[in-house]
A and B are shown apart, each in its own frame.
Chain A
Amino acid sequence: MENAHKNCRFYLPVDAFKGFCKRDKNRINADDSCCENFERAKQCQSCAYFDHLEEFSGKCMQRFFAYPDMNALTCSDFKWLTQKN
């Protein structure tokens, strides 16, 4: 799993390229490497119900197609894969 800003729970996307850090409001790029305050965001790839199949796709609960980077903050079924990084 990537540890880029876009994978961090403190990342606030402005557009597809960039966003803010919610902690300090600094402007950051989605794809840049994370800092020491990184906390993994709830995304499909960090969910126990997600099976990774190809680079950008997988299955949710073995039934529904899904993709690793999808936000799961609002998913009521989300369950951490093991434990928070």
Chain B
Amino acid sequence: MHSSSIENTTTMETLNYYGKNISETIEGREAKPNPTPRAERLRSLYLDTKSSASVEFPYWYTRRWEELDGEIPVIRRAEALKSAFSHLTPVIYPEELLVMGKASYLRGSYPMPWLSEAYFMATEDRMYNDAMQAGKISADTVTTMGQGGGNVTQSMGNVLSIAGKFGLRKEEMPVLMNIARRWYNKSVDDIGHKYEQMVPAYKEKEAIMRSVICMFDSGYTLPQGREVINYYYPLQYGIDGIIAYCHQRAAEIAGKYEMDRLYFYKAAAITLEGIQKWILNYADEARFLAGLEKDKKQQLEYAEIANRLQWIASKPPRNFTDALQLIWTFHIAVLNEDAISGLSPGRLGKVLYPFWKTDFDKGLISREETLEWLECMRVKFTEIDCFASMGVVGGVLSGNTFNNLCVGGLDKDGKEASNELEMLILESGMRCDTPQPTLSMLYDEKLPEEFLLKGIECTKIGTGYPAWVNNSTAIDFLLNNYGEEGMKPEEARAWSIGGCLETSPGSWMPLDFAGKKWLIPGGSAPATSVGVHFISLPKILEIVIFNGTDPRTGQRIYPEHNRKLDSYEEIWTIFQDYFRRTVEVLTLTNNIQHDAWRKITPSLVNSLLKPDCLSSGRDIGNQGARYNRTFNVEITGGVNLVNSLASIKKNVFDEGHFSISTLRDAIKANFGYKSALETGYYSLLEQVKNENFQSWLKIHKLCIDAPKYGNDNPYVDDIFKKWTEWFCTMCSDYKSLYNKPLYACMISVSTHAPMGAVTLASPDGRLCGTTFADGSLSAYPGSDKKGPYALFSSATCYDHSLAQNSQLNMKIHPSAVKGREGSRKFLELIRSYLRKGAFHVQFNIVDSRMLKAAQLHPEQYRGLMVRVAGFTQYWVELGKQIQDEVIARTEYEELS
């Protein structure tokens, strides 16, 4: 393709460098089994449901909070949570087995103005006017709103669109504004902001945020999540048991040293009473529905639901279905206490195994019945929505909530830990393919072939899960990171993924059930990904080239360096300096935000679940958890940074094709193309040249032809290695508010889209406004030309255990993995990568033509799912910036 001279290169040839033309015939994915009819109907209901917000929870929270002005903060918080939980209106949908939800809609959520009310205050007039002008519409109008799936992208009828995603009834808008005003100058955002300004470099932080070098603040956006929940205490003791323990401990401590423990125990008990009332309200509703029901089977199921809820409201579970309902209830209880993404159930197949195995051996539940419950669970997890601003929900999360369920791994003694329930979890993920919970295979050489092939079977059908994660690399990271807090190899084996790909510590908990002692794993640290949320590496390089100024806005971000940039080393040194400044100021300001968070809205539900908060009497904000080194620095666009550095090194300094000044001009001219923001095309597959195209053609071609990461080329891989090792080391120079060093986190989630959108053309030939390469190790779309094994060599040019994670996404054509033979080849491919010490790889098994067709006709592809960057999402609920990037990704047609 590139043998022609530069002068003769046509537009299409230049563009096709990044991918091939899409032909007409679409290759389907491998056939998949169907869910049970019940799960299919529940999933259909979900697919026909719009994301909806309500104010019930914030109303009762705020009302009780105000009543208790002057009370000890953690007690005030607990009483507010209790009031809110107690007042949530129960909703049980026909045929549900597993019941309860975050709010009183199927896909319900709500704002938490005690974290931040700024969005509502800033848009108050517009939203209020929308509410006043709203009018009645018919259901037909609503159901034609296909694009965007469940997102309410526009206000319609009596429903207002918030943040381009959530529908809110117009009659609730005035009270929402009223509540928001009550939190003005009292929210975590506002209080934190007040004290952040005391950091000397605060003005630089503001400039960094405005230029989107950093994606978002940490302390008031998603202060919890990216962690693994621990279900042990309710399963072992029941809610009454935990309350009794809290009362006992409070009595022992009252009036003695470290009185904060007294308030914590009192607050935990109050919160649990609210959760009990919430569960019992659902039991009442189930009884009410049973009374209305004419169908005997459904009537019996409502009665069973009522009985189950009544029991678990106070006592430990009697069986598998009790246990599943109890863990689900606590899962959403945690989600209701804070704005959270990435609260992962962790190794649920091991947590539930004692209950399931006992029931199964007694003949109380069959495999098919288990699958039906697991499929219903998948639908419930998929219903979870997280209410946050458009920038966070869309730009970071792509509407996803990252409830990662892991299978495989090892037990405490180092033996392989797969079990039959995990096989059923994989099967349910195939039969009832939904975005949540996403699955991860904790790959270990000891896992049986049959189990691994089951994982392959699941990945192959195009679910995007399980992702494949290296157990031993993660354990190395954990021991390096948490060794000082006492972690031993046995406990490191209890780890799991929190969120999309955050390695999270766990612990083995001794469960008594059916006369036996079982060790079940659960999370034992708070959020493992808070701190510095996504630094755009190509943007910092851009600002280096433009002497400390953001060329998009003209604003000064960093002090002028006033260097000529006449050597590669000088550019690298200034880049390091700017990057360090960024990490430093963001660490300090985010520490202040998190301090405000733990003082104003301390975690109670999550805290009482996490060892060792209950035994120590301290919540997670006071380091009550077993492991507390959990703050990190996240980055985006690493591959574009490295490719750009390679291009500068080769073209400007090694071969002298053009000067840094000419490169600066070429970047400003976007290499003769229109901006993606102008054209609406966000990958290089589809770009529109402008009238100056020919002037920049040669330089653009040189930039594109410069060595690219992903081809086993030491020229660029050495740059990658040097950058990554420096980054992973420098993070520990900065400390969290718990005075513990930060660590490196190398994932993109969806930030590669919005951060690409604000970045001009880059020296690697990428054009203005287009999306960066995803993950941390995915090649830039179309630039990896030597096959998967060359990509693997590039990706493992450094030690992956230096960071919390790494992320490699690959797109494979369905024909390459067809049949049993295809499965074995696929497993060998994954093995070969993980055996090199890699941390993670995940796949889209899809024909790009299907994605293109889905972009044109979204109404025909409501259920189509793709893997983005650490998560699976419905295609129609993704923004176009991400859609274009996924389409453009290199598609491997063979695995050699």
Contact = CB atoms under 8 A, between A and B. Distances in A.
Contact of B87 (A14, A56, A74): A74
Given A15-B51, A17-B142, A74-B86, A68 B105 contact: no
Nearest to A76: B86
A47 B793 CA distance: 69
B173 A56 contact: yes
B87 A18 contact: no
Nearest to B277: A74
Contacts of B59: 66, 70
Contact of A16 (B152, B175, B292): B152
Interface string A1-37: 0000000001011111110101101010111000000
Interface string B149-172: 000100011110000000111111
Contacts of A50: none
A64 B178 contact: no
B174 A57 contact: yes
Majority SS at the chain A contact face: loop
B50 A15 contact: yes
Contacts of A65: 175, 178
A84 to B, nearest CB: 16
B488 interface: no
Contact of A56 (B152, B159, B171): B171
A22 B292 contact: yes
Nearest to A22: B292
A38 to B, nearest CB: 15
Interface stretch (B131-139, B226-234, B770-778): B131-139
Given A65-B175, A67-B171, A70-B59, A15 B89 contact: no
Contacts of B178: 57, 65
Contacts of B172: 56, 67, 69
A13 B105 contact: yes
A13 B50 contact: no
Interface in A41-73: 54-57, 64-71, 73
Contacts of A55: 174
Nearest to B152: A16
B51, B92, B174: which has the most chain A beta carbons within 10 Å? B174
Given A56-B131, A56-B173, A75-B87, A31 B157 contact: yes
| Chain A interface size, under 10 / 10 to 19 / 20 to 34 / 35 or more | 20 to 34
B93 A14 contact: yes
Nearest to A28: B139
A74 B281 contact: yes
Contacts of A70: 55-56, 59, 175
Nearest to B86: A74
B105 A14 contact: yes
Given A14-B49, A65-B178, A31 B89 contact: no
A31 B86 CA distance: 27
A57 B178 CA distance: 10
A16 B105 contact: yes
B139 A17 contact: yes
Nearest to A58: B175
A75 B106 CA distance: 21
Given A29-B138, A56-B174, A70-B59, A15 B52 contact: yes
Interface residues of B, number: 48
A69 to B, nearest CB: 5
Interface in B18-69: 45, 49-53, 55-56, 59, 63
Contacts of B139: 17-18, 27, 29
B105 A71 contact: no
B91 interface: yes
A57 B172 CA distance: 9
B105 A67 contact: no
B107 interface: yes
Contacts of A12: 91-93
A13 B175 CA distance: 20
Contacts of B138: 29
A20 B289 CA distance: 12
A16 B87 contact: no
Interface in B82-114: 86-94, 104-108
A20 B95 CA distance: 13
Contacts of B106: 14-15
Contacts of A18: 139, 142
Nearest to B182: A65
A15 B169 CA distance: 10
A16 B162 CA distance: 12
B171 A68 contact: yes
Contacts, number: 98
B49 A71 contact: no
B175 A56 contact: yes
Contacts of B158: 30-31
A16 B169 contact: yes
Contact of B167 (A10, A15, A29, A75): A15
Contact of A64 (B63, B104, B136, B157): B63
B292 A23 contact: yes
Contacts of A14: 45, 49, 93, 105-106
A10 B292 CA distance: 10
Nearest to B289: A22
Contacts of B156: 17
Interface in B423-454: none
Which of A13, A14, A16, A18 neighbours the largest number of chain B CB atoms within 10 Å of its CB? A16
Contacts of A54: 174
B127 to A, nearest CB: 12
Contacts of A67: 171-172, 174-175
Contacts of B52: 13, 15-17
Contacts of B51: 15
Nearest to B281: A74
Contacts of B152: 16
A23 B294 CA distance: 9
A63 to B, nearest CB: 9
A57 to B, nearest CB: 5
A42 to B, nearest CB: 9
B175 to A, nearest CB: 4
Nearest to B295: A25
A60 to B, nearest CB: 8
Contacts of B45: 14
A62 to B, nearest CB: 14
Contacts of B88: 74
A29 B139 CA distance: 6
A67 B56 CA distance: 10
B287 to A, nearest CB: 13
A17 B50 contact: yes
A55 B157 CA distance: 17
A25 to B, nearest CB: 5
A22 B87 CA distance: 20
A78 B103 CA distance: 20
Given A67-B175, A74-B87, A16 B50 contact: yes
Contacts of B93: 12, 14, 20
A53 to B, nearest CB: 11
Contacts of B159: 16-17
A55 B131 CA distance: 11
A64 B106 CA distance: 28
Interface in B626-674: none
B104 A15 contact: no
A41 B139 CA distance: 22
Contacts of B105: 13-16
Contact of B56 (A20, A30, A71): A71
20 contacts: A13-B91, A13-B105, A15-B105, A16-B53, A16-B105, A16-B152, A17-B52, A17-B157, A17-B159, A20-B93, A22-B289, A22-B292, A56-B174, A65-B175, A67-B175, A69-B172, A70-B56, A74-B88, A74-B89, A75-B87
Given A56-B171, A74-B87, 13 more contacts: A13-B52, A15-B50, A15-B107, A16-B105, A17-B167, A30-B158, A31-B157, A56-B175, A65-B175, A66-B175, A68-B171, A69-B171, A70-B55
Q: Return the 5 tightest CB-CB contacts between A and B, nearest first.
A: A16-B167, A16-B52, A15-B52, A15-B50, A71-B89
